[in-house]
């Protein structure tokens, strides 16, 4: 099991390196397929998906993802992105009304939540890469999510004592959470000082990157716990088996999904 998890982790890192360095169409395509998989895993976990077929709500979700990512890649217009998201909301309400009372309102609301949660929030990975200095800023998402996760795990294993979420996540400790935040800050400091500082003109950015990554690390831990809460609410261990040893897309990218928009907005506001 450990070897399988290790191999999958190495493959994920290599894919991340290739796609984030390349950016452009490759990153957009990879992000799009991750978004599709994440949406499907959420729909299956919450009972929206009906085995063996795609129902009306899922059709709205999948078509909405296609429309949203097409608008993001070919236009990048915030207006079109908003129109795409509102279109998914209206289409879901249309299905709700057209086949009433087949779907309870809770399922219609859940379906829109799934669309916003995985596909829309994950799209900020691509949009961060498209910012000025995006080839540097996009790695802040990795530092704030996977870097924070790794540091939190190591600190928790070594000195973790006080359990702060015993019902939701029994293995998480206060020491681990603090270690994750500190680790993300230290990684950001090294990354900013040695790699980014010389690339950004007329601005000292290392302290800004530390701030962004610590805030992102807080979002990362919330995202991880929120994804775990959904699993516990629906009595499932993993969202899927797409990534051997890690589970599904939502198991591995739960923190990235929440961190990406946080990094995007902070970077767009603070890095000139």
Q: Which of 130, 161, 183 is at the close of a domain? A: 130
Q: Which of 81, 103, 130 is at the close of a domain? A: 130
Burial class (CB in 10 A: 0-12, 13-18, 19+), 252: buried
Cα dihedral: 128, 137, 206, 252 (round 10): 90
Contact 199, 133 (CB under 8 A): yes
Residues 75 and 97 in one domain: yes
Identify the residue whose tokens are 């959420």: 42
CA atoms of 67 and 32, how far apart (whole Å): 11
What is the structure's pLDDT at 6? 62
* Six-digit token string for 167: 């019902």
CA atoms in the 13 A half-sphere facing the CB of 129: 21
Residues 125 and 167 in one domain: no
Mean pLDDT estimate for the chain: 93
pLDDT reading at 1 higher than 70:
no
Residues 136 and 126 in one domain: no
Structural domain contains residue 92: yes
Contact 215, 251 (CB under 8 A): no
Q: Give tens-digit pLDDT for 5-33.
A: 667 777 888 888 999 999 999 999 999 99
Q: Give tens-digit pLDDT for 139-195.
A: 999 999 999 999 999 999 999 889 988 888 888 899 999 999 999 999 999 999 999
Domain that residue 99 falls in: 22-130
Share of the chain above pLDDT 70, in %: 98
Residues 122 and 191 in one domain: no
pLDDT band at 202 (very low <50, low <70, confident <90, very high): confident
Residues 197 and 249 in one domain: yes
DSSP states of 89-130 as a string? HHHHHHHHHHTTTSS-HHHHHHHHHHHIIIIIHHHHHHHHHT
Residues 197 and 118 in one domain: no
Q: Region 196-217: what's the mean pLDDT?
A: 94
Structural domain contains residue 90: yes
Residues 126 and 151 in one domain: no
Structural domain contains residue 156: yes
Residues 250 and 207 in one domain: yes
53 - beta bridge partners? 50
Identify the residue whose tokens are 């009595």: 235
Structural domain contains residue 1: no
What is the structure's pLDDT at 227? 93
Residues 80 and 162 in one domain: no
pLDDT reading at 2 higher than 60:
no
Structural domain contains residue 13: no
What is the structure's pLDDT at 272? 80
What is the structure's pLDDT at 29? 97
Structural domain contains residue 168: yes
Cα dihedral: 33, 38, 81, 103 (round 10): 130
The structural domain count of the chain equals 2
Structural domain contains residue 136: yes
pLDDT reading at 198 higher than 80:
yes
Name the phi and psi angles at 53, rounded to 5: -160, 160
Residues 188 and 202 in one domain: yes
Residues 125 and 138 in one domain: no
- Cβ neighbors of 21 (< 8 A, separation 6 or more) are 135
Structural domain contains residue 8: no
Query: Residue 271: helix, strand or coil by DSSP?
Result: coil
The model's pTM is 0.94
Q: Which of 214, 271, 223 is nearest to 251 (CA)?
A: 223
Share of the chain above pLDDT 90, in %: 81
Cα–Cα distance list, 255 to 22, 69, 147, 237, 260 (Å): 22, 21, 10, 17, 9
pLDDT reading at 38 higher than 60:
yes
Q: Which of 130, 146, 164 is at the close of a domain? A: 130
Q: Give tens-digit pLDDT for 85-130.
A: 999 999 999 999 999 999 999 999 999 999 999 999 999 999 999 9
What is the structure's pLDDT at 8? 73
pLDDT reading at 43 higher than 60:
yes
Residues 57 and 185 in one domain: no
């Amino acid at each position: 099991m450990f070897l399988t998890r290790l191999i999958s982790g190495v493959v994920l890192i290599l894919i991340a390196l290739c796609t984030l360095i390349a950016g452009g169409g490759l990153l957009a395509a990879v992000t799009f397929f991750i978004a599709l998989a994440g949406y499907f895993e959420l729909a299956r976990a919450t009972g929206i998906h009906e085995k063996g077929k795609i129902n009306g709500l899922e059709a709205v979700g999948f078509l909405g993802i296609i429309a949203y990512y097409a608008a993001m890649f070919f236009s990048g217009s915030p207006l079109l992105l908003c129109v795409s998201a509102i279109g998914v909301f209206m289409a879901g309400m249309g299905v709700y009304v057209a086949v009433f009372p087949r779907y309870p309102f809770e399922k219609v609301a859940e379906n829109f939540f799934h669309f916003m949660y995985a596909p829309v929030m994950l799209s900020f990975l691509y949009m961060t890469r498209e910012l000025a200095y995006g080839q540097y800023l996009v790695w802040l998402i990795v530092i704030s999510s996977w870097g924070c996760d790794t540091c939190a795990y190591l600190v928790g294993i070594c000195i973790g004592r006080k359990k702060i979420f015993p019902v939701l996540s029994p293995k998480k400790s206060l020491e681990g959470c603090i270690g994750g935040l500190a680790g993300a800050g230290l990684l950001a400091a090294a990354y900013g000082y040695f790699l980014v500082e010389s690339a950004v003109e007329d601005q000292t950015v290392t302290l800004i990157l530390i701030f962004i990554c610590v805030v992102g690390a807080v979002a990362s831990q919330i995202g991880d716990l929120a994804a775990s809460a959904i699993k516990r609410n629906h009595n499932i261990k993993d969202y899927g088996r797409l990534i051997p040893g890690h589970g599904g897309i939502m198991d591995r990218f739960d923190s990235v999904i929440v961190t990406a928009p946080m990094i995007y907005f902070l970077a767009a506001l603070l890095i000139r």
